Amino acid sequence: MFKEVCNTLGINRIELAEKLGLSKTTIDAWSDKSRISKTAQVALELMLENHKLRSIIKNFQDGFTLLNSYNLEGNINTSSKDHNDLINRINHIF
């Protein structure tokens, strides 16, 4: 599991140890899966989930930026009440 976290986040074992407040020796010991505590396992799972959610949020933000730039170019009728409601809802989310 720790290898997946390192690969996904693009970090090495030392950086993972620093993020978790552990020694590199502890991370190295996790080569034996039975030595990973339940707490550490949950922390690793949460790190992966956090990374995934940040990626999803970034995709939404990029999409919103693209929509907003399209709107600023005058390609959408901004006088539409439905359009303004949609823009307000999207702004509320971000």
- Which positions ≥6 away from 65 have C-beta within 8 Å? none
- Does the pLDDT at position 43 exceed 60? yes
pTM of the entire structure?
0.66
Looking at residue 75, its pLDDT comes to 56
Quick check: helix, strand or coil at residue 80? coil
Domain that holds residue 76: 2-93
Q: Can you tell me which residue has the tokens 């034996």?
A: 32
- Does the pLDDT at position 78 exceed 60? no
Residue with the larger pLDDT of the pair 60 and 9: 9
- The enclosing H or E element of 59 equals helix 38-72
Structural domains of the chain, count: 1
Overall average pLDDT of the 6-27 stretch: 96
Overall average pLDDT of the 36-64 stretch: 93
